[in-house]
Amino acid sequence: MSEKHDASENNDDAGKNQIWGGRFQDGPSAIMEAINASIDVDKRLWREDIAGSLAHSTMLARIGVLSADEVAKIHDGLGQIAAEIEAGTFPFSTALEDIHMNIEARLIALIGAPGERLHTARSRNDQVATDFRLWVRSAANGAAEAISALQNALVQLAAKHAGTVMPGYTHLQTAQPVTFGHHCLAYVEMLERDRGRFLDAAARMNECPLGAAALAGTSFPIDREMTAHALGFDRPTANSLDSVSARDFALEATGTASLTAVTCSRLAEEIVLWTSPHFGFAALSDAFSTGSSIMPQKRNPDAAELARAMVGRINAGHQTLLVVMKGLPLAYSKDMQEDKAATFAVFDALELVLAAMTGMIKDLTINADAMREAAGNGYSTATDLADWLVRVLGLPFRRAHHVSGAIVAIAEEKNLALDALTLEEMQSVEPQITNDVFNFLSVDASVASRTSYGGAAPKNVLAQVDRWLATLKGRDQ
C-alpha cells in the first residue's frame, strides 16, 4: 500500500493501472499484480477505511476544501459501499491492489467527481496507518474483554472449590497441599497482567496518523485534532515520518498476544494432565473432547491440546512482524504490507484460544476425592512438620528441616503417611515432639494454616474470590 499519486489522476483506461496514473503507460505484469495486491488480506479493514474517509471528508468540508453538497454525496456513497460489502456484493478487484483504492474507485463510480476529491491532503500511507491502528486498537480491547470472560469462569470455579484440597507442585513433584480454588486464582492473576498489557498497548497506540500524508505532512490547512477525535483517538501523532512508518503498536499488541497465549497454554497443559487417568482430577464433556478412531475407551482433550499448540502460530505472527520491521529505514516501505496478514493471524488465533479456554473451564467437572487423595501423597505436609518444630519447639529452621527429613525417611520405610506414625517413632528422631504435632499434619490443617496474604488458606481464597467478583462486576457496568 505504498503512496503513488492523487486519486484525481486515476483516469486511465481499464487496461492500465488506475492507481499509478499517467507516468506508467503499461499495466503491471501478472506476477507483479499478484505480489503487489493485498486486497485479499486487507479487505477486512473496510470498516476502518470507511470510518477514516468519513472523518477526513467531514474535516475537508470544515476547512472549505469540500462543499456541503460534495461531502454529503461522499457520505452517501460510502454508506452504499458499506451496504454492498455487508451484503457480499462489493466488486473487489486485485487490479486495484488494496482496500483503500477498491473503496475509492467504487466511490468514484457511484458519485463521480466528488469521489475524486476525497483523497485531497492524505496518502495511502497515513490512510493505512490509521486504518491499521483502528483495527489493532479494537483487537486489543476485544482481547482484554475475552480475558475478562476467562477470568470470570475461573473465579466462578474457584468459588466452588475454595476448600477443595489438591496437591501443589514444584518440578511436577508433590510439594505442599493447596486448594483448587487457589490454583484457579493463580491463573486469574496471570491473566490480569495479560489484560493490563493489552489495555496499556491500546492506550499507547491511541494517536491518529491521519493527516501525515505520504511522509511530510500537507500544505492544506487540515485540522488533525478534529479527525483524531472523530475516530476516537486521544490526539494526532506528532511527527509525520513516525506516523506513517511506525508499526510498534502492532508489535506490542502481537507480543502481548504471545504472552497471553503462553498463559493459556500453561492452563491447557494442566487440563491435559488433570483429565488423564493418571491424575483423574477433572473431566471434560463430549463438547470439548474427541474419541479415537481405533481405541473406543479414549476421551482426548483435543481442545486443550490445540489451544496449547496455537502458541506457535501466535508467536510466529509476532516474529514475522519483528522480522519485517527490523531493517526498514524511514518512512514507508512496501515491506509493511506484510504487517496485516501476520497481525490478523495472531488475533484470529488468540480469539479462538481464549474462547476455547473459557469454554473448557466452564465445562470441567472436578473430582475432589482424587485431588484430596493425591494431596496427601508424597509427604506433602513435611514442611508443616518443620514449621511446627520451629514455631513450638524453637528449633532453628535448618535443624527442623533435618529432623523432618529423618521422620519422612521412617515413614517411607514403613510406607505410612506422616500423621500415621506413632509419637514414639517421631520422638526417636526428636524427643521434644508432643502429640500436638498431629494437629498440623493433615492436608486440611496444612492448607488452613496458610493464612499469610496470598496464601492458600480457604478463607483467603474466599476473600480473593469476593474481590475478583466485585472487580469483574465493575467492568460490566
Which residues are known catalytic residues? 171, 292
Q: What is the CA radius of gyration of the chain?
A: 31
Closest residue by Cα to residue 366 from 456, 274, 458: 274
Question: Is the Cα torsion angle 52, 55, 60, 66 positive or negative in sign?
Answer: positive
Residue with cell 505480489: 35
Q: Is the peptide bond before 331 cis (omega within 30 degrees of 0)?
A: yes
The amino acid at 207: E
Q: Which secondary structure element, helix H or strand E, spans residue 208, and what is its range?
A: strand 207-208
CA distance 400 to 392: 11
CA distance 436 to 423: 10
CA distance 245 to 257: 22
CA distances (Å), 189 to each of 57, 182, 194, in order? 45, 11, 9
List, in sequence order, every residue forming a beta bridge with 166; answer none if it has no partner: 178
List, in sequence order, every residue forming a beta bridge with 283; answer none if it has no partner: 365
- Phi, psi dihedrals of residue 90, rounded to the nearest 5°: -70, 135
CA distance 317 to 346: 6
Q: Cite the DSSP H helix spans in 275-396.
A: 302-325, 339-363, 368-375, 382-393
Judge residue 156's burial from the number of C-beta atoms within 10 Å of its C-beta, 0-12 exposed, 13-18 middle, 19 or more buried: middle
Assess contact for 446 and 380: CB atoms under 8 A.
Answer: yes
Q: Which secondary structure element, helix H or strand E, spans residue 366, and what is its range?
A: strand 365-366
Helix axes 339-363, 302-325, angle to 10 degrees: 160
What is the grid cell recorded at 262? 503462553
CA distance 7 to 17: 12
